Amino acid sequence: MKDFIMHTSDLAGMSILILDDEVLVRKPIAAALEKLGADVTATDTIAAARQLAGELNFDLVLLDVHLPDGLGTDLLRDKVFLESTGVIVMTAHGGISGAVEAMKLGAVDYLAKPLEPAELLLVIGRVMRTRQSARIQEHRREDELPSGEPFFFGSALAGLETQLDKILAADRRVQAPLPPVLILGETGTGKTTIARWLHHRGPRTRQALIEVNCSALPDTLAESELFGHERGAFTDARSTRMGLFEAASGGTLFLDELPSLSPALQTKVLTAIEDHKIRRVGGNRSIAIDVRIVAATNCDLIRQVNEGRFRQDLYHRLDLFRIQIPPLRDRGQDIISLAELLLRRLCQRHRLPLKRITPLGRKRLLAYHWPGNVRELAHELERAVVFSDGSDIDFVHLDMAPSETSPTNNEDWFNPRFRFPAEGFRLENAINRLIDHAFQQTNQNVSAAARILGVTRDYLRYRLGNAEDQSRGENDSFGP
């Protein structure tokens, strides 16, 4: 048999059984697949195959039809192999009828002898992709999420968009394996939408994107769901199951609310990121993966690390590409632009005439604290579209919301309800605070901060220099 072509996909960690009574077929196939990293077991009788199937879990079986002690199709008829095992039938010339019967009994493909190495590898790759797709579809049925709308950046998030473009440029240079991305932001700010944005504009857009809400995974099932399990690993493990890390290989795995995983699972996630390998629950072999991890949380991760609830080494590993999404209340007039965009989409979806946000409604949108951020804004707009009789929307019910849902300090000038104090107001401090807020929003980018403030870079540098001088002067005044 000719040597296998080595440009095919790596089979590292894959467990394969070869059942063929011809030694000149069996041995070369086994040797070639082992060179590609597969864990290969070879035998020549149905009896031996039955025993092996009862003792070991196989990802793939290469099955000859005519064997000394019976027909290979009997193993399929008797359901000897697990449902998760892909079976490829090998049949000699003239044995197509046996291959057809095998396909009816559950085989996923067949090959005619003499085997062509390139064709065998193509079929194996097809079987692997089929199993991966089946696991992805299973997950989507269990935890299906809406596709969502494109992310609205606006002028307030111009710096964030620039940062994302830089990540995409780095992704195209690196190709594989891609480094992880960490997305931080309050609930409802659009972390999931950003994860989808990165995936669908990056080099892996044709591959799978799997989304997992880690906080919704029960502790007893989380490890199996993420990393898979072997048959018999625990009481209900009646068959081998592929984990989501393995199913997402080649694509992106979005782990929302990652800190909700236990420290033990955080360790396994760290190992998967660093070694590009996972091990199923109850398994003793490593499975190679190539997954782009995008992790997200609404927690203060530094505090979580300091309190011992999140692994420091995992935090540093994730923190290479960090994206901070500011809350909706900090986006200024972009709240109005976003609300009008969402309003148009909602009216189209419900097939209603376009409604208008009144001037009073705009003021209320800007004054409200938005603890639920963009998600809450979308819900409020849909409520108004569905229940409003007229063509105008004024959000009258938002009047009392800030005092009920969030602490509002009317002494804080950075608030629509602010009233100047009788003793006066220090404008210099207010300007410095605005500049500091702009730097936080743009991840300390001077050009972006200057753009959203409507000033020059030189002006910002001048202000920052003055602020440092004032700070030193105030500190000196407390000296001896």
Tokens of 209: 């994107």
pLDDT at 368 over 70: yes
Residue 5 has pLDDT above 70, yes or no: no
pLDDT at residue 252 tops 90: yes
Decide whether 328-419 matches 421-472 in CATH topology: no
Tens of pLDDT, residue by residue over 110-120, are: 888 877 777 88
CATH code assigned to 328-419: 1.10.8.60
For the domain bounded by 421-472, which CATH number is listed? 1.10.10
Instruction: Read off the pLDDT of each residue in 347-375 and give the average, rounded to a whole number.
Output: 90
Q: Would you tell me how many other CB atoms lie within 10 Å of the CB of residue 173?
A: 7
Better-predicted residue by pLDDT, 7 or 447:
447
Q: How much is the pLDDT for 312?
A: 94
- Domain range list for the chain: 15-133, 158-324, 328-419, 421-472
Mean of all residue pLDDT scores within the chain = 82
pLDDT digits (tens, 9 = 90+) for 448-465: 888 888 888 888 888 777
Looking at residues 41-48, what average pLDDT do you find?
Answer: 92
Q: Is 386 helix (H, G, I), strand (E, B) or coil?
A: helix
pLDDT at 335 over 80: yes
Q: What is the dihedral of CA 328, 331, 336, 339, to 10 degrees?
A: -30
Q: Are 258 and 296 in contact (CB under 8 A)?
A: yes
Q: What are phi and psi of 259, to 5 degrees?
A: -60, -15
The predicted pLDDT at position 219 comes to 82
Q: Are strands 109-112 and 292-297 parallel, antiparallel or unpaired?
A: unpaired
What top-level class would CATH report for the domain 15-133?
alpha beta
DSSP state of 358: -
**Between 44 and 94, residue with greater pLDDT:** 44
At residue 110, the pLDDT reads 81
Whole-angstrom distance, CA of residue 184 vs CA of residue 81:
45
pLDDT of residue 468: 54
> What is the per-residue pLDDT for 167?
94
Per-residue DSSP letters for 56-114? ---SEEEEESEETTEETHHHHHTT-S-TT-EEEEEE-TT-HHHHHHHHHTT--EEEESS
| DSSP per-residue string spanning 249-298 | TTSEEEEETGGGS-HHHHHHHHHHHHHSEE--BT--S-EE---EEEEEES
% of the chain exceeding 90 in pLDDT:
31
* Closest CA relative to residue 434, chosen from 417, 454, 419: 454
User: Is the predicted pLDDT of residue 16 greater than 80, yes or no?
Assistant: yes
Sign of CA dihedral 184, 186, 187, 190: negative
Q: 159-184: per-residue pLDDT in tens?
A: 899 999 999 999 988 877 899 999 99
**What does the alpha-carbon distance between residue 434 and residue 425 come to, in Å, rounded to a whole number?**
15
280-328 pLDDT, tens digit per residue, is 888 888 888 999 999 999 998 998 999 899 999 999 999 989 999 999 9
- Residues whose CB falls within 8 Å of the CB of residue 313, separated by 6 or more in sequence, listed in order: 270
- Phi (first) and psi of residue 250, to 5 degrees: 95, -20
- Distance between CA atoms of residues 38 and 31, nearest Å: 10
Burial label for 214, CB within 10 Å (0-12, 13-18, 19+), is buried
Q: What is the pLDDT of residue 259?
A: 94
Q: How confident is the model at residue 263 (pLDDT cuts 50, 70, 90)?
A: very high
Q: What is the pLDDT of residues 125-171, one digit of tens each?
A: 888 777 777 767 766 644 444 444 578 888 888 889 999 999 999 99
Q: CA Rg, the chain, in Å? A: 30
* Nearest C-alpha neighbor of 67 from the set 22, 115, 18: 22
Mean pLDDT of 54-65: 85
pLDDT of residue 420: 66
Give me the pLDDT at residue 343, please.
Answer: 93
At residue 8, the pLDDT reads 41
pLDDT for 478 beyond 90: no
The full DSSP string for 408-439 is --TT-SSSTT----TT---HHHHHHHHHHHHH
When pLDDT is cut at 50, 70 and 90, the band that residue 416 belongs to is low
Residues 6+ apart with CB under 8 A from 246: 132, 135, 227, 228, 278, 287, 289
- C-alpha torsion angle, residues 88, 90, 94, 99 (rounded to 10): -20
The confidence band for 42, taking pLDDT boundaries of 50, 70 and 90, is very high
Q: What is the reported pLDDT for 7?
A: 38
Fold designation for 158-324? Rossmann fold (3.40.50)
Q: How far apart are the first and last CA of the chain?
A: 90
3-class DSSP assignment, residue 451: helix
Phi then psi dihedrals of residue 347, to 5 deg: -65, -35
